[in-house]
Amino acid sequence: MADPIRIDKDALRFCEEVLKTPGGENLLRCFACGTCTASCPVRETDERYNPRRIIRMVLLGMKNEVLRSDFIWLCSTCYTCSERCPQGVHLTSIMRALKNIAVREGIIPPSFRMQAKAIREMGKLYEIEDFDNKKRARMGLPELEKKCPDLEALISQGKLKDIRRATLP
C-alpha cells in the first residue's frame, strides 16, 4: 500500500511555485469536474492519462511525482480542455508551466533532450536535405537554409536560454 500523502510546507511551496509560474495562475479554480479529462484526445489513446489527476497531484504538493511523470510531457497543447473548462482553468498553460519547472529542475525526458539538441544545432527539428531544396527549386520556391541564420543571436540574447539547459546531460 502506498504511503499516505502528507501536506507539509514543501507541498505548499510546490503549489505556490506553480501558481507563480506564468500559465499556472488559474490552478486553484479547478474543482475537479473531469471535463478536461473527458475531452482530452491524448486520453483517447492512453487511458492512464488524466489531466484532472495531475492538477490534484499539484494541489497536494506531489512535486517529485508530477515533475518526473511522463504525463506532463504528453499534453498535445490542443487547448480542448481549456476551451471546455467551466471554471476557466487553462490546463494547457498549467502543463506548460509544469514543463518549465521541470526543465529548471533538470528533469527532461531523453526524447525532448534530443529535440532541443536538434534545435540548438540546426534551428529546427529536422535536417534540410539536398533533396528538399531540389524539389523546392523545381516548384520555383527559394532554397531553405540548412541552419537558422538567427539562431546563435537568439541564444546569445537569452531568448532561447532553456535550449542550452535542455541539451546538457
| Number of domains within the chain | 2
Mean pLDDT, residues 122-141: 82
Report yes or no on 1 lying in a domain: no
**Domain shared by 60 and 99, yes or no:** yes
**Domain shared by 70 and 122, yes or no:** no
pLDDT value, residue 67: 95
Q: Which of 104, 126, 152 is the last residue of a domain?
A: 104
**Domain shared by 38 and 67, yes or no:** yes
Report yes or no on 20 lying in a domain: yes
The yes-or-no verdict on residue 169 having pLDDT over 60 is no
**Domain shared by 35 and 83, yes or no:** yes
| CATH number of domain containing 63 | 1.10.1060.10
pTM of the entire structure?
Answer: 0.74
Residues 6+ apart with CB under 8 A from 84: 35, 36, 39
Q: What is the 3-state secondary structure (H, E, C) of the chain?
A: CCCCCCCCHHHHHHHHHHHHCCCCCCHHHCCCCCHHHHHCHHHHHCCCCCHHHHHHHHHCCCHHHHHCCCHHHHCCCCCHHHHHCCCCCCHHHHHHHHHHHHHHCCCCCHHHHHHHHHHHHHCCCCCCCHHHHHHHHHCCCCCCCCCCCCHHHHHHCCCCHHHHHHHCC
Mean pLDDT, residues 127-145: 83
The yes-or-no verdict on residue 168 having pLDDT over 60 is no
Q: Which of 57, 77, 104 is the last residue of a domain?
A: 104
**Domain shared by 24 and 48, yes or no:** yes
Average pLDDT, the chain: 85
Q: Which of 104, 126, 144 is the last residue of a domain?
A: 104
**Domain shared by 152 and 122, yes or no:** yes
With cut-offs at 50, 70 and 90, classify the pLDDT of residue 6.
low
Segments forming the whole domain that contains residue 88: 9-104
**Domain shared by 98 and 140, yes or no:** no
pLDDT value, residue 165: 61
Report yes or no on 41 lying in a domain: yes
The percent of residues in the chain predicted with pLDDT above 70, rounded, is 89
**Domain shared by 71 and 141, yes or no:** no
pLDDT value, residue 63: 93
Give the pLDDT confidence of 62-94 residue by residue, as tens digits.
999 999 998 999 999 999 999 999 999 999 999
**Domain shared by 71 and 138, yes or no:** no
Give the pLDDT confidence of 92-112 residue by residue, as tens digits.
999 999 999 998 898 988 888
With cut-offs at 50, 70 and 90, classify the pLDDT of residue 164.
low
Q: How many CB atoms lie within 10 A of CB 154?
A: 14
**Domain shared by 46 and 61, yes or no:** yes
